[in-house]
Homo-oligomer: A and B are copies of this chain.
Amino acid sequence: MYQLPPAQPGMSESEVETPALILDLDAFEFNLDTMARRVAGLGTRLRPHAKTHKSPVVANLQIRRGAIGQCVQKVAEAEAMAWGGVEDILVTNQIVDPRKLARLAALSGIARVALCVDSLQHVALLEAAARTAGVRMSVLVEIDVGSRRCGVPAGEPAVGLAKRIASSRHLVFAGLQAYHGAAQHLRSAVERREAIGKAIAACERTVEGLSRARIPCGIVSGAGTGTFELEAASGVYTELQAGSYCFMDGDYAANLEEDGKPYRTFRHSLFVLSSIMSTARPGQAVLDAGHKAVAIDRGLPTVWQQPELRIISAADEHARMEYPAGRATPEIGERFRLIPGHCDPTVDRFDWYVCVRAGRVESVWPITARGGMQ
């Protein structure tokens, strides 16, 4: 349910009620600008994934810098984006409930919307929904390029499904969804290059099959923050779905760069601000942010710029922090910025970004797709 913002513009960061989701605007804008410049140089289109930020405010800042629209996972996210002014939306996912398909079709009055399938059953469901709504739906075939989750095998199975879509009066075949999620967090550039090399080959094989079948393939969409330069240079991918680059998180920061050195392309802009609430046990301080505030599915958070402080566990509402012997005990009420292990689900815990520049709250932005699961 809707919560009030934990800060007001003009406040000092030290006055924000914690735990709060802090967006450091200087780092955030650096990330947006860096990505826009790199993508322009690579000659590919960027359609960032809104599953990261869940907010049309961020989406529109990306689009103003050249992004062609947004990717989403859920119909509720598509609605939040369309209602917030985004005009071109790709649902990188299968939607199977007729109610949800009707909601998606209803957006076609204000936005271009496409979605994915990986079976003939999906095609039948989409045809029924499009017929009922009196619209033509744009459909991508998802191919499994290594994530082993959704998606038909590349090549003939994908071409067969595309033929079926292209022959429908109610559907438009729009291209291929070919995201390799599992490759994003392979730590070395060599491993990522090898994994994405296979994904590129799978796309090429499928695009060739479509070409032989004389089926135009407008979009080949994939890539994340860990690999986008590889897909961009492939010549076969036409759109990049990277999302996390605008915030970064502990998991992406653990990747190594092409030169084998520590990560440095994008900067941490997203933090969970947390306060010390108890120091009753020697050597341990208890923070007021547990895993209800900061997602731990990809590891515990770390303390920004203070590596000697170590988060050792997280319960729902508390995290324990160890500090070394000899260091002063953290003060009750003292605040620390935590770097989330995983940005996307951390954002989902909050209703508001508290946007900070040089220590002051510059604005608060609503996370309107927070909790948008259906």
Among the stretches A165-173, A254-262, A278-286, the one at the interface with B is A278-286
Tell whether, in the assembled complex, residue B97 and residue A18 are in contact, meaning their CB atoms are under 8 Å apart: yes
Q: Report which A residues bind B (CB closer than 8 A).
A: 1-3, 6, 15, 17-20, 51, 73-74, 76, 80, 93-97, 99-100, 118-119, 121-122, 125, 144, 148-152, 181, 275-281, 286, 288-289, 291-293, 295-297, 314-318, 320, 331-333, 344-345, 348-351, 366-374
**List of B residues within 8 angstroms of A15 by Cβ:** 99
Query: A351 contacts which chain B residues (CB < 8 A)?
Result: 1, 371
Q: Which residue of B lies closest to A95 (CB)?
A: B277
Bound-complex Cα distance A240 to B278 (A): 23
Nearest B-chain residue to A121, judged by Cβ = B332
How distant is the Cα of A349 from the Cα of B297 in the complex, in angstroms? 15
Contact across chains for A344 and B373 when beta carbons are under 8 A apart = no
CB distance A291 to B280 under 8 Å? Answer: no
Residue A374 contacts which of B18, B97, B286, B318 (CB distance < 8 angstroms)?
B18
Report which of B1, B94, B315 forms a contact with A367, defined as CB distance below 8 A: B1
| Contact A370–B1 (Cβ < 8 Å) | yes
Q: How far is the CB of A145 from chain B (nearest CB, A)?
A: 13
Given contacts A96-B332, A119-B278, A297-B291, contact A368 B317 (CB under 8 A): no
Contact of A292 among B96, B121, B122, B373 (CB under 8 A): B373
* A3-B76, A366-B1, A373-B292 known; A280+B333 contact, CB < 8 A: no
B97 and A275 form a contact (CB under 8 A): yes
* B17 & A100 in contact (Cβ 8 Å cutoff): yes
By a CB distance below 8 angstroms, the chain B residues around A275 are 96-97
Q: Are B100 and A281 in contact (CB under 8 A)?
A: no
The smallest C-beta distance from A158 to any residue of chain B, in angstroms, reads 11
A374–B277 contact, CB under 8 A? no
Return the chain B residue nearest A116 by Cβ: B278
Beyond A2-B2, A3-B76, A296-B297, whether A93 also contacts B277 by CB under 8 A is yes
Smallest CB–CB gap between A275 and chain B, Å?
6
Q: Report B-chain residues with C-beta under 8 Å of the C-beta of A295.
A: 291
Residues of B within 8 A of A314 (CB): 297
Taking CB atoms, residues of chain B closer than 8 Å to A373 are 3, 19, 289, 292-293, 317, 349-350
Q: How far is the CA of A20 from the CA of B74 in the complex (A)?
A: 13
A-B contact pairs, 30 of them (CB 8 A): A1-B371, A15-B99, A17-B97, A17-B100, A17-B374, A19-B373, A19-B374, A51-B316, A51-B317, A73-B316, A74-B317, A93-B317, A94-B277, A95-B277, A96-B333, A119-B278, A121-B332, A121-B333, A125-B333, A149-B281, A149-B286, A149-B318, A150-B277, A151-B278, A291-B345, A297-B314, A317-B373, A349-B373, A351-B371, A370-B371
